[in-house]
Homo-oligomer: A and B are copies of this chain.
Amino acid sequence: MKKNSAKSRSASRFAYDGLDRVIHERARLSVLTSLITHPLGLVFGELKQLCGLTDGNLNRHLQVLEESKLVSISKGLGGHRPKTHCRITALGRKRYIEYLGVLEQVILDADCAVKPGSPARSGHDPANA
């Protein structure tokens, strides 16, 4: 049984099951990368600017991330109006780091095909030679 299971994993070696859809979506990857590089958190306006998102889009993606417990959101007073403060949670960091490991695997897998000077990187396909 173990042998079959290992064979099945090896057969699907480009499946990348670890590319969690909650994190992989471009805008949410953008939000999480902004937040993991700012461990003290960011206010809504800063996050919006760093990710190049509209208010509506950022709100929608923050809701998904909060429901998945990857980001925590708190409201507080900052100056004259309430400020929304966003932080990545411990679970968010853990899941983001796991996700990053899979991204690194994609790059490693593609590396031999696309490294400088290789047929793929130079646009030459040996199959056409």
B14 touches A19 (CB 8 A): no
Residue in A14, A19, A36, A96 with the greatest tally of chain B CB atoms within 10 Å: A14
In the assembled complex, the Cα of A26 lies from the Cα of B24 at a distance in Å of 8
Task: Choose one: B12, B19, B51, B123; the contact of A50 (CB below 8 Å).
Answer: B12
Q: How many copies does the complex hold?
A: 2
Chain A interface, >50% SS class: helix
A103 touches B100 (CB 8 A): no
Whose C-beta in chain B lies nearest to the C-beta of A41? B127
Q: Return the CB mask of A6-30 against B: 1 if under 8 Å, else 0.
A: 0000011111110101001010011
A14 touches B50 (CB 8 A): yes
Task: Choose one: B31, B39, B94, B125; the contact of A90 (CB below 8 Å).
Answer: B125
Report chain B residues within 8 Å CB of A94. Answer: 123
Q: Return the CB mask of A24-48 against B: 1 if under 8 Å, else 0.
A: 1010011101101101110000000
Whose C-beta in chain B lies nearest to the C-beta of A89? B125
Whose C-beta in chain B lies nearest to the C-beta of A8? B52
Report chain B residues within 8 Å CB of A52. Answer: 11-12, 14-15, 17
A96 touches B109 (CB 8 A): no
Task: Choose one: B11, B103, B110; the contact of A96 (CB below 8 Å).
Answer: B110
